[in-house]
Amino acid sequence: MLSIALPKGRIAKETLEIFEKIFGEEFKFEDRKLILQTDGFKFLLVRNQDVPSYVLHQAADIGVVGLDVLEEKDEDLVRLLDLGIGKCKVCVGACVDKELDYSLPEITIATKMSNITQKFFSKKAMGVKIIKLYGSIELAPLVGLSDAIVDIVETGDTMRQNGLKVVETIMDSSAHLIANKNSFIEKKDEIISLYEKISKILE
């Protein structure tokens, strides 16, 4: 039995569709239930940012999570496979009419992703003041809370509709299959077998 942490929303849905294709049965969470128990798997529905914690502490053997979250959390996990779903970018964004001055001694950035932001501006040898937010990041520069943002861009609609532009792309992201290090030893055969089945479907 493998337990699998999935991030609520579209990635969970698309991951379950991959499992349906492989095993020829329906995998669907009932209404508001957060656990889906089948013959071979126990699926857990968690918040995207929480997937690494469930897997790190072995509450789940494996998980599916965006590379952006993996980079941000930087936990000691086994990265197995890029599922190629949930594609997006992590970008620096600013108001369309504003030129970002990278020569400033310090820039104020609103973001959910403090670590990615810190690393990115450190590499540029720039001081950064981070304002940690939990959502609606695009609002911050519009009302003077920050000079710019670091956030996920998928279609680009949220930035566009709020008068923001992408200044620079920090990284590309997509959903990855990850495993707990102990589970990867204890349940190696099961995990490798699943890994091979998923790789085959993705080809």
* Shortest Cβ 156–ligand PRP spacing (Å): 5
Beta strands in 73-186 (DSSP E): 78-82, 88-95, 106-111, 127-132, 148-153, 164-173, 175-179
Q: Could you say which of 37, 122, 136, 169 contacts ligand PRP (CB under 6 A)? A: 136
Q: 35: which DSSP letter? A: E
158 binds ligand PRP (CB under 6 A): yes
* Shortest Cβ 161–ligand PRP spacing (Å): 8
Q: Which of 63-81 are b and which e, b meaning 16 or more Cβ less than 10 Å from the residue's Cβ?
A: bbbbbbbbbbbeeebbebb
Binders of ligand PRP: how many residues, by CB under 6 A? 12
- Select 7 or 187, whichever has its Cβ closest to ligand PRP: 7
140 binds ligand PRP (CB under 6 A): no
Maximal CA-CA distance, the chain: 58
Rounded (10°) angle between helices 188-202 and 10-23: 100
Tokens 């699998």, located at residue: 4
Choices 79-87, 101-109, 114-122, 145-153; region in contact with ligand PRP by CB under 6 A: 145-153
* Shortest Cβ 158–ligand PRP spacing (Å): 3
Site mask for ligand PRP (CB under 6 A), range 78-117, x = bound: ----------------------------------------
Q: How do beta strands 175-179 and 78-82 pair? A: antiparallel
Beta-carbon contacts of residue 163 (< 8 Å; ≥ 6 apart): 95, 96, 97, 142
- Select 159 or 194, whichever has its Cβ closest to ligand PRP: 159
- Select 61 or 151, whichever has its Cβ closest to ligand PRP: 151
Task: Summarize as ranges the residues that interact with ligand PRP (CB under 6 A).
Answer: 135-138, 151-158
